[in-house]
Amino acid sequence: MFGVSFDTKEENDAFACKFSFPFPLLCDTTRELSLAYGAADSPDAGYPKRISYLIGPDATIRVTYEKVDPSGHPEQVLADLDRLTSA
């Protein structure tokens, strides 16, 4: 699991430390990754959209979460992981 932000490495490190993130934050200062995955509409976007993807071991996108509510998202992803691995 990882997150992606428009911020610099230093800004991401400070943010992750402040909020005790248990996963790395990748830097997308050029917006290339965000444009490719639909989290930014243009290269000059001020903020990325909160989008999440569940990617399988074969590198295919299994589930797309287009509107992420951080308060319940972990449980939603765990339920989907359970559903996908039980099938």
Please give the Cα distance from 33 to 5 (Å, whole number). Answer: 10
* H or E element in which residue 3 lies: strand 3-5
DSSP string, 34-70: HHHTTS-SSTT-SS----EEEE-TTS-EEEEESS--T
Same domain, 31 and 59: no
Is 24 found in the same domain as 4?
A: yes
pLDDT of residue 66: 92
Q: For the chain, how many structural domains are there in total?
A: 2
Residue 16 reports pLDDT greater than 80: yes
Q: pLDDT-based confidence at 72, cuts 50/70/90? A: very high
The band of 5, judged by pLDDT with boundaries at 50, 70 and 90, is: very high
pLDDT at 86: 87
Are residue 59 and residue 84 in the same domain, yes or no? yes
Name the residue range of residue 13's domain.
1-43
pLDDT of residue 30: 94
